[in-house]
Amino acid sequence: MPRSIPFSFRLGYLSSMVPGDVEPTGGVARVRPTPELTIRPMTSRSLFPLVAWGGLVAACVYLFWPPSSGPVIFPDTLEYLHWPRSLQTPAGKVMGARPVGYPAVLALLGATPALSHVQTWLSVFSWGLLGWTVWRAAGLLFALALAYSSPVRLWNGIALTESMTLSLLVLTMALVIHLARAWSWWVYAAWLLSGALFVLLRDANIVLVPFLSLPLIACGRRRLTACLVPLAMVSALAVWHADAEQRWLPGYRTSIWARVLGTPEAQQHFREAGMPENPLGRGEGAFLEWMTEDGRQVYLDWVLRQRESYSEPWEYLYRGASTELPAQNLVDYFYERFLRRTGVQRGFVAELADRVFCFSALPLTILLLIAVVASIDVGANGVGHSMSLWIVVITLALLAHGFVTYNMSGSEHARHILASSILLRLVPLFVAAAVGARMANGLARR
């Protein structure tokens, strides 16, 4: 210690174990006492947050707890379990190869009750985080209610990609909002991991990546590059693998079977373009060869010219019905067809959630009109805090994803278009948050 400091100051420095701060004044050290630590008694007001959070956690555990029987196994599940040998099985030759994401999850957890628990609690955490990020307590309750509705919750008990696709979708959205508001390398790492796994789960998820990354423009050029380059590399790898394995072929083939072969005019157009006769029978081999060479481009050109290619996906987004059962909505379609096998009963709470979140076309049209009005002030609170920007992003994302999955999936449109349908049901959350922010700003200015 330097000799220029008086002994009295050194004594005060060495006696720092005594409560107080040493404050030198001239050549004398003066100890400034600090206030004593007092413990305030617990009151009902201070206990309320603890009781509220405890009650919410207990309610989630009670409502979301998965059945002990484990996940339901479907034919598609076997293709994930047998990956990468799935193409050698009879079903694999029809449904095509699978992306690497979900087979890796099944290799780690297996089709066991542990998978149901991981999918369930990942869903609860992801939806809760998104709701809290967007609109605090009100958004948390809204998001958890949506997560409890049948189109989301019942997938947690099935060994298919739908549950993790929805969970990682909303988790990635929540992390992007955090990054746009305040940069953190830990959040960046979590977002990169979540986004990469989201891309590797389903090929159609790649369509959503540009839209989910758009709000990152608030992070600056360098950080935007740090975000987009790794995810773009993963997406490019997924696209290359999908093309190498010709994963597009089963979807295009069944799309032509469903949309073209039932229409004489469309059949004539495709036969003039070189489609072989009898593609469902002996001509299937020649049909697949034609699809690999010229048929894919012919089908894409035909889709872009058809008005139904744009209008029918919208109907599936809000209704989710099959063409054979046009009166059924999204929930009844899933529940009555095969999700009852999960063993999960809908009950009163689930029925209420289903009625709230599975509305018809008119309310959705009104909500989108509100979204347009709320989007006028994009950037009023900064890009990172603008819920209006997210309304625009979600609307564009669900339309693009719905168009691609409807026209390229071929069958079970209601299941393949699920992510778009759930995004549409998230619009009210962001609309309410945007309107609430505008009202709060108006009151603050007064």
- Single-letter amino acid code for the residue at 18: V
Burial of 194-218, coded b for 16+ CB within 10 Å and e otherwise, reads bbbbbbbbbbbbbbbbbbbbbbbeb
Q: By the 8 A CB rule, do 358 and 330 touch?
A: yes
- 203-225 pLDDT, tens digit per residue, is 999 999 998 888 888 888 888 88
Cα 166 from Cα 149, distance rounded (Å): 13
Q: What is the mean pLDDT of each run of 10 residues along the chain (446 residues)?
A: 44 44 52 58 74 92 88 84 58 58 91 94 97 92 90 88 95 93 92 94 92 84 89 91 83 83 86 82 76 89 91 72 41 60 69 68 59 55 65 86 86 78 84 76 70
The pLDDT, as a whole number, for residue 326 is 38
Phi and psi, residue 151, nearest 5°: -60, -20
- Give residue limits of the domains in the chain: 1-32, 66-245+307-445, 249-303
> What does the radius of gyration of the chain's CA atoms come to, in whole angstroms?
28
List pLDDT tens digits, range 163-188: 999 999 999 999 999 998 889 999 99
Whole-number Å distance between alpha carbons of 148 and 143 = 9
pLDDT of residue 427: 81
pLDDT of residue 325: 37
Cβ atoms of residues 194 and 168 within 8 Å: yes
Total-model pTM: 0.83
Quote the CA–CA distance of 270 and 291 in Å, as a whole number: 11
Rounded distance between C-alpha atoms, residue 270 and residue 298, angstroms: 8
